[in-house]
Amino acid sequence: MTTDDEQTGWTGGRDAFGDFASGMVHYTDAVLFDEVWERAGLSKRDRSLVTISALTALGKTDQLRFHLAFARQNGVTDDELREALLQLAFYTGWPNGMAATTVLKDIVENDR
């Protein structure tokens, strides 16, 4: 386990908050991404799909923006993401599916 002052492999929390919220930085970087995301039980690709499903269901589009892009880095194709979001729309509510698809559309179109 690292202390709040140690640099971890993942720095998204530190990049977002610096010294402002050391606890949030620690748990985001050291626990969530350096420990949980690195566990062998699921591939990063599968973790991305699970995370996208949860964030879509909760309507958390701010976090979804990062995780859709991260899923693409983890090997999920744009076609698979479109299909996943369509499937999720029927189970999480149409507005949540539409909002998530809007975020994905923006990511894909701005990546060209």
**CATH code, domain carrying 55:** 1.20.1290.10
Do 30 and 52 lie in one domain? The reply is: no
Give the confidence band of 8 by pLDDT, cuts at 50, 70, 90: low
Do 33 and 75 lie in one domain? The reply is: no
The predicted model gives 73-88 an average pLDDT of 98
**44: phi then psi, degrees, rounded to nearest 5:** -60, -35
Do 27 and 54 lie in one domain? The reply is: no
pTM of the complete model: 0.86
User: Residue 77 carries which side chain, given as an amino acid letter?
Assistant: T
Tokens of 74: 């983890």
Residue range(s) defining the domain that contains residue 49: 44-110
Do 50 and 105 lie in one domain? The reply is: yes
Q: What is the pLDDT of residues 19-55, one digit of tens each?
A: 999 999 999 999 999 999 999 999 999 999 999 999 9
pLDDT at 59 over 60: yes
Tokens of 8: 């971890």
Do 99 and 51 lie in one domain? The reply is: yes
Q: What is the mean pLDDT of the chain?
A: 92
The predicted model gives 80-108 an average pLDDT of 98
Do 66 and 99 lie in one domain? The reply is: yes
The predicted model gives 50-71 an average pLDDT of 97
How far apart (Å, rounded) are the C-alpha atoms in residues 51 and 43? Answer: 12
Do 64 and 26 lie in one domain? The reply is: no
DSSP 3-state of 23:
helix
Kindly report which listed range (4-13, 17-26, 58-67, 84-93) carries the lowest average pLDDT score. 4-13
